[in-house]
Amino acid sequence: QVHLQESGPGLVKPSQTLYVTCTVSGGSVSSGEYYWSWIRQSPGKGLEWIGYIHYTGGTYYNPFLKSRISMSMDTSKNQFSLRLTSVTAADTAVYYCARADNWKPTWFDPWGQGTLVTVSS
Q: Which residues bind other proteins (CB under 8 A)?
A: 46-49, 51, 60, 62-64, 96, 104-114
Strands (E) across 1-121 are located at: 3-7, 11-12, 18-25, 35-41, 47-53, 59-61, 69-74, 79-84, 93-100, 108-111, 115-119
Residue 101 CB, shortest distance to other proteins, in Å, is: 8
Alpha carbon 14 to chain centroid distance? 19
Q: Which is nearer to other proteins, 83 or 105 (CB)?
A: 105
Pick between residue 5 and residue 30 the one whose CB is nearest to other proteins: 5
If the CB atoms of residues 10 and 63 are measured against other proteins, the closer one turns out to be 63
**Distance in Å, CB of 52 to other proteins, minimum:** 9
Cis before residue 110, ω within 30 degrees of 0?
yes
| Cβ 114 to other proteins shortest distance, Å | 5
